[in-house]
Amino acid sequence: MADKTLLFHISDIHFGLEDDRSLDWVMQEIAEKRPAAVAITGDLTMRARHREFSAACSWIRALDVPVTVEIGNHDLPYFNLYERFTDPYRRFHAIEALVERKLDLPGLAIVPLKTVRRWQPRWPWSHGWVTDRALERALAMIDRLPKGTRALVACHHPLVEAGTHGKAWTKGGDHALAELAKRKVLATLSGHVHDAFDIVSETPEGSVRMIGAGTLSQRIRSTPQSFNEIAWDGATLDVRVRSIADVPTKSMQVSEVPEDAMPPRKPDEPVAPVGAVPRVDPPVH
Ligand SMILES: [Fe+2]
Ligand SMILES: [Fe+2]
């Protein structure tokens, strides 16, 4: 490991509903392994409350290693719509102030790509959206990198679906991914769906590796809390998903009610197949 650059990719801590045991574990791992950087791909908070951002700041500061942070859909004001429209990133700025601008990653750069919006002409506003402006900004950063430096593009939403239970529905994601393929980025790093993945996605311009980190919150979906350890040796990117593993599946919490959720059945009620429409007999006259 001596000649490899180690990164920790963590996501969706959701302070306000964080998982303390997972956070203690990750902090311990960071203290022992001293990664060159920790990339956090959004949803630091649950509802963007001031106390949640303050907890996030304290935790990040205590890591004592360089950190990059992307904004997630949960990090925009949720209760204060006036602020959400007029100054959506104000609360997040306190976190950005902690972020390292200069990372010591030989031949590697972490480039941010914003995938959240203060509002969208569709519901819910939690879905991903890559605006032209956000994409242009990220592409310009990639194009300005020194020759030979490879880009890891950090964003909150997966740009296209990655086969996870949770979906990102990222508008403009296909186009963004194709533009990243043109520039031969090393990979995208994302969160949002709360389950880890490491896949290769095809675009008309070539393929892009997509790496997703799970969650460190109590809001687990299909898998227990996890994070990614990424090692770069100048030629190969190795991804290891580190899972806390012993969280029982029955404690799983999801942010949306599944489509097949049924109300509790009364003891004498016949079992209807999932998705069946209850049969109503025509009235007898
Ligand atoms: Fe999340
Ligand atoms: Fe999210």
Q: How many Å lie between the centroid of ligand 2 and the Cα of residue 50? A: 18
Q: What DSSP string runs through 182-224?
A: HTT-SEEEE-SSSS-EEEEEEETTEEEEEEE---SBS--SSS-
- Considering the entire predicted model, what is its pTM? 0.85
Shortest-distance ligand to the CA of residue 73: 2
Q: How many Å lie between the centroid of ligand 1 and the Cα of residue 267? A: 37
For residue 203, the tally of other CB atoms under 10 A from its CB is 18
Q: How many Å lie between the centroid of ligand 1 and the Cα of residue 43? A: 5
Give the pLDDT confidence score for residue 102 in this predicted structure: 67
> If you search the block for the tokens 């959720």, which residue do you land on?
261
In the structure, how many helices (H) and strands (E) does the chain have? 6, 10
pLDDT in tens, the chain (285 residues): 458 999 999 999 999 999 999 999 999 999 999 999 999 999 999 999 999 999 999 999 999 999 999 999 999 998 899 999 999 999 998 888 887 666 879 899 999 999 999 999 999 999 999 999 999 999 999 999 999 999 999 999 999 999 888 899 999 999 999 999 999 999 999 999 999 999 999 999 999 999 999 999 999 888 889 999 999 999 999 998 888 865 444 433 333 333 333 344 445 544 433 333 333 333 333
Give the pLDDT confidence score for residue 280 in this predicted structure: 33
**C-alpha span between 86 and 149 (Å, rounded):** 37
Q: How many Å lie between the centroid of ligand 2 and the Cα of residue 251? A: 20
Q: How many Å lie between the centroid of ligand 2 and the Cα of residue 213? A: 12
* Residue whose C-alpha is closest to residue 126's, from 165, 71, 176, 195: 71
Give the pLDDT confidence score for residue 264 in this predicted structure: 44
Give the pLDDT confidence score for residue 3 in this predicted structure: 80
Give the pLDDT confidence score for residue 247 in this predicted structure: 46
Shortest-distance ligand to the CA of residue 217: 1
